[in-house]
Amino acid sequence: MPSPIVSKRAPIYADVPDEKWNDWRWQLSHRLNTVEEIEKVVPLTDSERKALQTSGLFRVDITPYFISLIDPDDPNDPVRIQIIPRAEEMQAFTSMMEDSLAEDRHSPVPGLVHRYPDRVLMLVTTQCASYCRYCTRSRIVGDPGQTFSRQEFEAQIEYLKRTPQVRDVLLSGGDPLVLAPKILEEILRRLREIPHIEIVRIGSRVPVFMPMRITQELCDMLEKYHPLWINIHINHPNEISQELADACDRMSRAGIPLGNQSVLLAGVNDCVHIQRELVQKTTRIRVRPYYLYQCDLVEGAGHFRTPVAKGIEIIEGLRGHTSGYAVPQFIVDAPGGGGKIPVMPNYQISASDHKIILRNYEGYIASYEEPTEYAAHDPATCSYCQNKRPEPGQTGITGLLDGEEMFLKPEGFDLIHDRHGIQHRLKDEKKWKPLGIGAGTKENAEG
């Protein structure tokens, strides 16, 4: 049952003049963060009150626009639990980490994460329009004393200039769209001056928290720096208001392809039917579902975690059942810095040397007859193969398929399997370091 597009203001904002309500600076300066303020809009539960009165909690701030999307009578409202802290946030859990993706280890200069061969994540601010309670970067985000740093920015630009394999820069934070317009434009301009940077992407939840920020003026500015892509972050159909739809329309008209990255969250969207409605509604506003993330092992997010199988079940309920455009990739971002790993249902049932057996979303099972003769692609005569871009040390399984490597070995493999050499090493205890032992523990994962 499609719900109507909502457009509402909490009663306390009824008398705010439209020009203020629709001014993003007004929204930012009227954000709510204390028990007293929030209670004027949403009657708080004991758990929420307790969390809000705890010092040292990850920053709370909610725009008047976003809090107005909450049904105040529903303590389990899906928008509410993303943004109002609960006491569970203070609970530790097994495998909890501060920097679960080991981003700090992958930083060649502060604020730049170079994890993949051809692209980098650039953290340009620690500020957001509102703060998601499950934030994967809560270790750095929200600190009010630390916003855009020019010194860090210059070091990041220098690194990018001397690193030609980077062709894709992903601006994130914090949220790049809360930066002062002049600073945002300067960042884009400086990136565009680097010839090997082919695309720039922005990851932002501003359209969802504060769609009034997506002014025509902002879109006119962004349009000057194409090819520019934007990923937004919607988790539940209730976040898709008329204002958000209009903001997305303005960005699309400026030629910006829009994607959605959502997080699988217990009590918010851990349901095939909610997800189906979400992805269908996002495609209607021309936002293509990109990733659905498994919740990270981050402090404060334990109560949002679901089993990974829930994500597989959701993809099972989307693929084939709805438009292919509406199906995101389900991703587990591997703890310890392993990076994004797609996880999905199995569609391949078996194979022989001439047939592959596949099943579809309905359970229909088919054999696909493979060609008996295949004029194999010849890398020797292919100019793309001859001029492929290097991926130093990161080719992985493709490297095995390419014939560049014969095997991949876990660290310490040679040492452990050197049964002959071990005798000599044991004589000299100082040289012996059990490299591979304990791999995968939290300590190791954090490097």
Ligand X SMILES: *Cc1c(COP(=O)(O)O)cnc(C)c1O
Active site residues: 115-116, 119, 128, 132, 135, 137, 296, 333, 340
Using CB under 6 A as the binding rule, the residues of this chain from 163 to 182 that contact ligand X are 170
Smallest gap from Cβ 155 to ligand X, in A, equals 17
Question: Measuring CA to CA, how many Å separate 246 from each of 83, 149, 214?
Answer: 23, 32, 9
Instruction: Give ∠ CA 146-118-387 in degrees, rounded to 5.
Output: 160
In this structure, what token pair is assigned to residue 388?
């492929």
Using CB under 6 A as the binding rule, the residues of this chain from 54 to 113 that contact ligand X are 113
Q: Tokens 């199988």 sit at which residue? A: 309
Smallest gap from Cβ 59 to ligand X, in A, equals 22
Instruction: Give ∠ CA 305-310-311 in degrees, rounded to 5.
Output: 95
Residue 49 or 115 having the CB closest to ligand X: 115
- Note whether 114 and 67 are within 8 A (CB): no
State the DSSP code for 263: E
Residue choice 21, 26, 116, 225 for contact with ligand X (CB under 6 A): 116
Interaction of residue 200 with ligand X, rule CB under 6 A = no
In this structure, what token pair is assigned to residue 277?
């409605």
Interaction of residue 229 with ligand X, rule CB under 6 A = no
Residue 48 or 99 having the CB closest to ligand X: 99
Question: Measuring CA to CA, how many Å separate 435 from each of 150, 170, 417?
Answer: 40, 34, 12
Strand order in the sheet with 288-294: 112-116, 119-123, 168-172, 199-203, 228-232, 258-264, 288-294, 329-334, 339-342
Dist. CA 287–CA 299, nearest whole Å: 30
Interaction of residue 295 with ligand X, rule CB under 6 A = no
Interaction of residue 30 with ligand X, rule CB under 6 A = no
* Segment interacting with ligand X, rule: CB under 6 A, options 14-22, 76-84, 115-123, 136-144: 115-123
Residue 119 or 305 having the CB closest to ligand X: 119
Smallest gap from Cβ 167 to ligand X, in A, equals 11
Interaction of residue 139 with ligand X, rule CB under 6 A = no
Residue 12: count other Cβ atoms within 10 Å of its Cβ.
14
Binding residues for ligand X, how many (CB under 6 A)? 7
Interaction of residue 119 with ligand X, rule CB under 6 A = yes
**Residue 250 CB contacts under 8 Å (≥ 6 apart), including other chains:** 214, 215, 216, 219
Interaction of residue 159 with ligand X, rule CB under 6 A = no
Nearest to 157 by CA among 201, 199, 108, 204: 108
Residue 113 or 298 having the CB closest to ligand X: 113
Dist. CA 78–CA 74, nearest whole Å: 9
Interaction of residue 205 with ligand X, rule CB under 6 A = no
Interaction of residue 232 with ligand X, rule CB under 6 A = no
Smallest gap from Cβ 257 to ligand X, in A, equals 13
Residue choice 49, 80, 86, 115 for contact with ligand X (CB under 6 A): 115
Which 3 state secondary structure label does DSSP give 334?
strand
Residue 296 or 299 having the CB closest to ligand X: 296
Type of residue found at 26:
W
Residue 139 or 359 having the CB closest to ligand X: 139
Interaction of residue 276 with ligand X, rule CB under 6 A = no
Interaction of residue 218 with ligand X, rule CB under 6 A = no
Residue 77 or 103 having the CB closest to ligand X: 103
Interaction of residue 212 with ligand X, rule CB under 6 A = no
Residue 62 or 121 having the CB closest to ligand X: 121
Interaction of residue 314 with ligand X, rule CB under 6 A = no
Residues 233, 197, 112, 155, CA torsion sign: negative
Smallest gap from Cβ 310 to ligand X, in A, equals 21
Which 3 state secondary structure label does DSSP give 356?
strand
Interaction of residue 340 with ligand X, rule CB under 6 A = yes
Dist. CA 201–CA 168, nearest whole Å: 8
Dist. CA 342–CA 331, nearest whole Å: 4
Smallest gap from Cβ 108 to ligand X, in A, equals 12
Dist. CA 229–CA 222, nearest whole Å: 10
Q: Give the binding site for ligand X (CB under 6 A).
A: 113, 115-116, 119, 121, 170, 340
